[in-house]
Amino acid sequence: MTSSVKKIEPRVSRAQHLLAEQVGNEFRASQQYLAIAVWFDQRDLPRLAAHFYRRSLRKRTDALRIVQYMMDSNLAVEIPAVPTVRSDFSEPRELIALALEQERAVTAEVATQTRTVREDGDYLGEQFMRWFLAEQVDAVSQMSTMLNVLDRAHGNLFDVEDYLARESVGRRTNDSLAPQTAGGAVGH
């Protein structure tokens, strides 16, 4: 006589589901920034290219921060496939506008995640998400400013290059409060 024992799968909370989704969102953002960086690099705009290469690495690192948190919390981690990102642009403004739109989308995702962990009473998750909220405020501000500079310069990318050189945008040197990264500080 065989006994059919039904395996009970642990229930995945809303917050865990959103964390898993956010890993993919961050990797997708990283790939989009990489495509933007390459576009600028192919057009001999080294400061814009470097800025977006750094943003790509930053988003990848953010994904790995979430992976580390999930591992530390004994949650299952699956690395999702990344959908194809946009690589074809007709004018430079599209790239920076896309980057701003992307940062606003990530901000909304992080806010939803934070609200969910708060509603679930997950205080450790809420503490983890605080760093990401602050990070997103900075990212949206940077992209908004860069788009404003481009618009004021009437599309002159050399003015944006000068702005990036002068202001050291996106070159944060102290991340001591940042959550740990899976694999350590790879790529930094």
- Looking up tokens 């909304």 gives 108
Residue 8 pLDDT: 42
Residue 9 pLDDT: 46
Which tokens hold the place of 112?
């939803």
Residue 31 backbone dihedrals phi, psi, to 5 degrees = -65, -40
Please tell me the pTM assigned to this model: 0.85
Residue 61 pLDDT: 95
Q: Which alpha helices (DSSP H) does 73-122 contain, by range? A: 92-119
| C-alpha torsion sign, points 176, 178, 179, 182 | negative
Q: Which listed CATH number (1.20.1260.10, 1.20.140.10, 3.30.1490.20, 1.10.3720.10) goes with 14-166?
A: 1.20.1260.10
From the CA atom positions of the chain, what is the Rg in Å?
A: 19
Residue 167 pLDDT: 83
Q: Determine the Cα angle at 172 with ends 167 and 175, to 5°.
A: 165
Q: How many CB atoms lie within 10 A of CB 9?
A: 6
Residue 172 pLDDT: 58
Q: Which residues of the chain have pLDDT under 50?
A: 7-9, 173, 188
User: Exposure string (b/e) for 85-104, b if CB count within 10 Å is 16 or more?
Assistant: beeeeeebeebbbbbbebbe
Non-local (6+) Cβ contacts of 57 within 8 A are 30, 187, 188
Residue 4 pLDDT: 62
Residue 10 pLDDT: 55
Which residue type is seen at 123? Y
3-class DSSP assignment, residue 49: helix
Which residue type is seen at 145? T
Residue 63 pLDDT: 96
